[in-house]
Structure 1
């Protein structure tokens, strides 16, 4: 994906400004599959540090994070191991979909972004943000713009005279077909400005 940095530099001076301030962005990747999707569900609407702690506690309790182990665990056990009541429901719905063949994660990489989003968001608890971040991190699709991401929104408001999602989406058109890379730039800016590092676990 980094090979497209020169293209973005030609399209918008903001990317050179980010490089001048903080260097090139780190391109975070995660493996495809159930484990990564569970992490993204747990990361919904909480800090990444908090999500990491919750995931690791659940993993320690389960031994292995797998669909069968999550379904075998009682709701109470999962809640006692740092998973909220709502996210217990989401993780169990995902586990059921995997085990009954409703969702086949290994086939997603061959499908279009719209097809992938449709399949993922059909599962309770997986919205557009979770689906889009999975598509970027795990499937490495190159033109994804996760407009529901708060860090992305806040960064665009800081760097451009935009306030609404509609304005942000319109702005993003000039970064096509490399909006995933543009998003990595803005996440990089967001973290570095706040003296934070990408979270890896």
Structure 2
């Protein structure tokens, strides 16, 4: 993905401005599979720091986060390990879909982004943001633009005269087919401006 930085620099001067301020972005990767999707479900609508603490507590309790272990653990035990009632339902729905072979995560790699998104969002608790971030970080697709992400929205509002998601999506057309890389630039800007580092776990 980093090989496309020169292409993006030619498309919009904002990317050079970000490099001048904060250097090149780190291109993060997460492994494909159940654990990464569980992390993303836990990360929905909470800070990454609290999501990390919750996931590590759950992992320590289960020893290994697998579909079978999630199905077997009680809702009470999930809640006592900081998983909300709603997210406990989502984790179990995901585990059930995998155990029942309704979802084959290994088979997603060779499918189109629309196909992947359709399969993932069919699972209760996985919306567009979760699916898009999985596609971007785990499957390394190069033209993903997770417009539901609040940090991305806030950065675009700071850097461009845009206010609505529709305006942001229209703006993103300029960065095709490298919108994943563009998103990494904007997240990089967002974190550096706030003296925060990317969270890895």
**Does TM, scored on the shorter chain, surpass 0.5?**
yes
1:151-189: CA deviation from partner (whole Å, max 9, x where unpaired): 000000000000000000000001000000000000000
Matches within 5 A, 1:91-130: 91-130=91-130
The TM-score, its normalising length taken from structure 2, stands at 1.00
Q: Deviations over 1:88-146 (max 9, x none)?
A: 00000000000000000000010000000000000000000000000000000000000
Correspondence 1:15-30 to 2 at 5 A: 15-30=15-30
TM-score between the two structures when normalised by the length of structure 1: 1.00
Structure 1 residue 11: deviation in Å? Answer: 0.3
Report whether the alignment pairs 1:50 with 2:41. no
Once the 2 structures are TM-superposed, how far is the Cα of residue 43 of structure 1 from its aligned partner? 0.1
Give structure 1 regions of 4+ aligned residues with deviation exceeding 6 angstroms. none
- What is the match of residue 136 of structure 1? 136
Distance (Å, rounded) in 2 between the aligned partners of 1:107 and 1:23: 36
SS in 2 for 1:162: coil
**Unaligned runs of at least 5 residues, structure 1:** none
> Secondary structure of 2:191's match?
helix
For residues 41-88 of structure 1, the C-alpha deviation after alignment (integer angstroms, 9 at most, x for no partner) is 000000000000000000011110000001110000100011000000
> How many residue pairs are counted as aligned between the two chains?
201
RMSD between superposed Cα atoms in Å: 0.3
Q: CA deviation at 1:13?
A: 0.2
* 2:41 corresponds to: 41
Partner of 2:183: 183
